[in-house]
Chain A
Amino acid sequence: DAKTTQPNSMESNEEEPVHLPCNHSTISGTDYIHWYRQLPSQGPEYVIHGLTSNVNNRMASLAIAEDRKSSTLILHRATLRDAAVYYCILRGRGGADGLTFGKGTHLIIQP
């Protein structure tokens, strides 16, 4: 699976939007972009995924650049419960079946 690059940490205020960036310049045409998050002392939790078009679900939105070399996870109104490590992962048809987690972005929410 292709590599992703994320900032080590980000800080935001409660009730404000949060934009978490991810660069994946070597993405292939069949790679899906997945986002997971891991709250303290818990297993990872699926957030959202997409291929080319922007995606929305109850948890977040995923904005994918036109060239697909970057994407942004958007939390529209952050709460203290959103404090977690957020992982951006590429999954391709020819890749390993297990997810390859990098270091992710540690999101800190200030009250």
Chain B
Amino acid sequence: GAGVSQSPSNKVTEKGKDVELRCDPISGHTALYWYRQSLGQGLEFLIYFQGNSAPDKSGLPSDRFSAERTGGSVSTLTIQRTQQEDSAVYLCASSAQGRSYEQYFGPGTRLTVT
């Protein structure tokens, strides 16, 4: 079946502009995660959605970062007033349940802030 998809695959933006990154999880998966990976680094957890519960935003690095998940499916990660240090690959993952179940990752969005 279809996996996790993300768009765009690449995004180049100027410092100070806002960007929106989209994630389409696997159909039926109730849990959705956002991570980012800077060059040569491991993954950094950003935010987690589980069903209709309030999201776990504990990993968001600043208030310029926000995310929504509409209708329990598609999610959008928004970065306002982008900075050069925001340049990274942003990865989305979904899972069938939550903590104990394997996560399926999308291909990521490579964000470059110039």
What is the total number of residues of chain B having a CB less than 8 Å from a CB of chain A?
Answer: 26
A91 engages B99 (CB within 8 Å): yes
Q: From residue B92, how far is it (CB to closest CB) to chain A in Å?
A: 8
Main SS at interface, chain A:
loop
**Chain B residues packing against A (C-beta within 8 Å):** 4, 31, 33, 35, 42-43, 45-48, 50, 56, 58-59, 91, 93, 98-100, 102-108
Could you write out 28 A-B pairs with CB less than 8 Å apart? A36-B103, A43-B93, A43-B105, A43-B106, A44-B43, A44-B91, A44-B105, A46-B102, A46-B104, A49-B102, A87-B42, A93-B99, A96-B56, A96-B58, A96-B59, A97-B33, A97-B48, A97-B56, A97-B98, A98-B33, A98-B46, A98-B56, A98-B59, A99-B43, A99-B45, A99-B103, A101-B42, A101-B43
